[in-house]
Amino acid sequence: MSLLESLNPEQLAAVTLPRESALILAGAGSGKTKVLTARIAWLIQTGQVGPNGVLAVTFTNKASKEMLHRISTMLPINTRSMWVGTFHGLCNRMLRAHWKEAGLPQAFQILDMQDQLSAIKRMYKVLGIDAEKFPPKQLSYFIGSAKDQGLRPKDVEAHDEYHRMMVRLYEAYEAQCQREGVVDFAELLLRSFELLGANPALREHYQARFKYILVDEFQDTNNLQYNWLKRLAGPQGCIFAVGDDDQSIYAFRGARVANMVQFENDFAVQNRIKLEQNYRSVGNVLKAANVLIGHNKARLGKELWTEAGEGEAIRVYEATSDQDEAAFIIDRIKKLVLEEGFSRSDIAILYRSNAQSRVVEQALFNAGMPYRVYGGLRFFERAEIKHALAYLRLMDNADDDNSFSRVVNFPARGIGARSVEQLQDLATSQVTSLYRAIHRLEGRAQAGLKKFADLIERMRFETRGLSLADLVDKVINESGLVAHFQADKDGEDRVENLKELVNAAASFAIAEGYYQDAAATMVDEEKLITPLADFLSHASLEAGDNAAAAGQEAIQLMTAHAAKGLEFKCVFVTGLEEGLFPHENSIGNSVEGGDGTSVEAVEEERRLMYVAITRAREQLFLSHAQQRMLHGQIRYHLRSRFLDELPEDVLKWLTPKRAHIASQGWDALDSKVWGQSKTLNVGYSNKTTKRPYDIGTGVSHAKFGNGVVVAYEGEGDDQRIQINFGRQGMKWLMLSLAKLEKF
DNA sequence: CCCGTCAAGGTTTTT
DNA sequence: CCTTGACGGG
């Protein structure tokens, strides 16, 4: 059978497993997606299951689109009715189909993170909560983690006043969401989970239907997602889980690698198949990756190999500064493009945190090299788009106070904070929404508010029977949004974006089969949803591309996190410094491993580094800088321990490798000290400023023992030197008095 | 109501 | 350094 022909023995074994649960440990570049899609295609093609009997779940929209695309090239079937999507997308689908049983209004809206925060702030106003004492972000986090544990307010144990308050706020938030007919991301999952729990008939229906469940990036599942899968699969369930514990980089947002082992126990997994042959990178890159990740203790164990040649050595550069690092990168890129014939889009520059992109961007800009930065605002997150969506949502669901508040006075129509406050009071006392409260204002009715309500009503009436795109077009004009931004001298882009929203609606309508003339309000036996509601869900669940627009032939800039799942011929991993990568917040910290054990937080950083270097197919460059500008201060960092963990024989140091770190031992440096360096006067007035020891060199002190010079401060007799003495802590010593020796 | 100024604070991110 | 949010004056 042709679809099995290109598989290696392990891949073939995985694809053709009988109906039993299995864990596939798939290393970076080992053909993970290929195996997933081939298994689905094989199951269907051999008649073991129909397209409707398969459910495949991923974490990102991109991954699910890719999967659908590949399936449709392998099989002549309509994939649109298949349950392939993200956890949130599939839960949304289920809740749309069973909104009544789930206790939701038919037109329930989805809150993204921004929306959730503004909902919390609005609630604080009504309840008179001090946002300083209980930061909205903290509440959002609290609610999110509770839901991830499957806990409702009544289930959360609070042992102190602060947490009792958080629980009360959680409860109030939940009541508000319920009244307004909105759900946040975690709620989609929890509702769906509870729906299956409370409804045996429904549960059994889905358990019988989905004979085969496949999960991508299994190491990224959180507690709730795991339990949702378990419940959906049922006692006879068959789950095909694909993941890589070495690429688990999202523990900080609740992902539990421990789910992999728990899965093997819960589902009596007989087969743990390892995919270790790598089809992406040259030998040297792979060797570096293997040795690096070998430093982690918490691993299931796996070693990648390749048939490809060794390739170039991994080149390492120690820059004097972040500017110098950028200059090095530009220089190498020029060589790669002009002399070695790589295309700019083959080249990626990776960093630990977004702030690091600035210096590189500047340098690329000055060198006239096109580049593309991932990680900005996404299309559906832009303010003007959010405004347009708010009008649409309010038309669809009159109880959506979030949307109401966003646009009631935007564009400005003379409705001040005072009027809205009064309206809120009335709405609160009558337990209704802001929009509905307008009609109860009676004599005190504020003319502006009435006019606003009329506007919404009119738009609702006038858009009846229009196609989705025409509807959106009508609303952006009728609402005054387009006129408002046209009048703004800097509003050109925003007008363009609003028009782009009309296009997005049109493409969505076509993709989903609503077509242009869809007076159709109901489509798809399973969706039971209007095109508008469907589009609004889509906008919340899929915020769109987050890359800044640029020519296709551009150098790619992104964080190591954002690079997961991608590959490039040439990769630069930058900022390899203690405190940056590994990040200072991880150094010396332990975190709960998900199964009660304690794991070094730096292991996740190491996995991130592993992800970063395994993005490279042919050439890999690593760099660090002696000093860099961070938070407006010059900071000095030692080179990353990760550089010292790489095997020397695959490295080629372009600058001399300095030896100060290896002799030191990392235990001495594990306190959180790197963030405390002081600003220095650099480059001038060093008449009275001496630096007998270079930053980064080791010194010993009679009382404190060995340490590393981190910074200098002051001048002349007042000049002080900062030294990290490891366990003894960070000390500032008077240079004139301290008795120090180089070691 | 809009715009400026000032203070605070600043991993990683998808849905 | 640079972005974000909170206030107060015009």
Mean pLDDT of A146-151: 94
Out of A193-197, A521-525, A698-702, A732-736, least confident range: A521-525
Task: Say which nucleotide is closest to residue A630, CA to C1' distance.
Answer: C1
Which positions ≥6 away from A373 have C-beta within 8 Å?
A357, A361, A547, A548, A557, A558
Q: Is residue A672 predicted with pLDDT exceeding 50?
A: no
Task: Name the token pair of A313.
Answer: 């050595």
DSSP percent split of chain A into helix, strand, coil, nearest 5? 45, 15, 35
Task: Name the token pair of A451.
Answer: 């006019």
Q: Give the distance, in angstroms, between residue A186 CA and nucleotide B14 C1'.
A: 12
Indicate the pLDDT class of residue A714, thresholds 50, 70 and 90: low
A33 is an annotated ligand-binding site residue: yes
Query: pLDDT digit string (tens) for A315-370?
Result: 999 999 999 999 999 999 999 999 999 999 999 999 999 999 999 999 999 999 99
CA distance A288 to A311: 12
Mean pLDDT of A642-658: 94
Q: Is residue A143 predicted with pLDDT exceeding 90?
A: yes
Q: Which of A550, A643, A571, A552 is nearest to A351 (CA)?
A: A571
Q: Which of A489, A484, A492, A477 is nearest to A410 (CA)?
A: A484
A243 is an annotated ligand-binding site residue: no
Query: pLDDT digit string (tens) for A175-205?
Result: 999 999 999 999 999 999 999 999 999 999 9
Q: Identify which has the larger pLDDT, A721 or A185.
A: A185
Task: Say which nucleotide is closest to residue A362, CA to C1' distance.
Answer: C1
Task: Say which nucleotide is closest to residue A117, CA to C1' distance.
Answer: C5
pLDDT given at position A156: 93
Residues of A belonging to the active site: 32-33, 216-217, 247, 615
pLDDT given at position A81: 82
Sequential DSSP letters for A507-570: HHHHHTT--TT------TTTT---HHHHHHHHHHH-----BPP--SS-EEEEEHHHHTT--EEE
A28 is an annotated ligand-binding site residue: yes
Q: Write out residues whose CB is closer than 7 A to strand C.
A: A 131, 358, 629, 631-632
Q: Using a 7 Å CB cutoff, list residues 361-390 of A near strand B.
A: 375
CB A288 within 8 A of CB A282: no
Q: Is residue A680 predicted with pLDDT exceeding 50?
A: no
Indicate the pLDDT class of residue A282, thresholds 50, 70 and 90: very high
pLDDT above 90 coverage of chain A, percent: 63
Q: Give the distance, in angstroms, between residue A130 CA and nucleotide B8 C1'.
A: 18
A397-411, A480-494, A596-610, A704-718 — which one is most confidently predicted on average?
A: A397-411
Which positions ≥6 away from A309 have C-beta within 8 Å?
A282, A283
Query: pLDDT digit string (tens) for A386-404?
Result: 999 999 999 999 999 999 9
Query: pLDDT digit string (tens) for A457-489?
Result: 999 999 998 999 999 999 999 999 999 888 887
Q: Give the distance, in angstroms, between residue A142 CA and nucleotide B9 C1'.
A: 21
Q: Please, which positions of strand B sit below 7 A from a protein CB?
A: 1-2, 9-15
Q: Is residue A657 predicted with pLDDT exceeding 90?
A: no
Q: Give the distance, in angstroms, between residue A376 CA and nucleotide C7 C1'.
A: 28
**If phi over 0 gives left and psi between -120 and 50 gives alpha, with beta otherwise, what is residue A363?**
alpha
A133 is an annotated ligand-binding site residue: no
Q: Is residue A723 predicted with pLDDT exceeding 80?
A: no
pLDDT above 70 coverage of chain A, percent: 89
CA distance A194 to A171: 17
Question: Considering the entire predicted model, what is its pTM?
Answer: 0.86
Query: pLDDT digit string (tens) for A191-249?
Result: 999 999 999 999 999 999 999 999 999 999 999 999 999 999 999 999 999 999 999 99
Q: Give the distance, in angstroms, between residue A527 CA and nucleotide B12 C1'.
A: 36
Q: Is residue A664 predicted with pLDDT exceeding 50?
A: no
A301 is an annotated ligand-binding site residue: no
How high is the mean pLDDT of chain A? 87
CB A228 within 8 A of CB A189: yes
Q: Please, which positions of strand C sit below 7 A from a protein CB?
A: 1-2, 6
CA distance A151 to A143: 9
**Does the CB of A485 fall within 7 Å of any strand B atom?**
no
**Burial classification of residue A259, based on how many CB atoms lie within 10 Å of its CB (0-12 exposed, 13-18 middle, 19 or more buried):** buried
Q: Residue holding tokens 């917040």?
A: A585
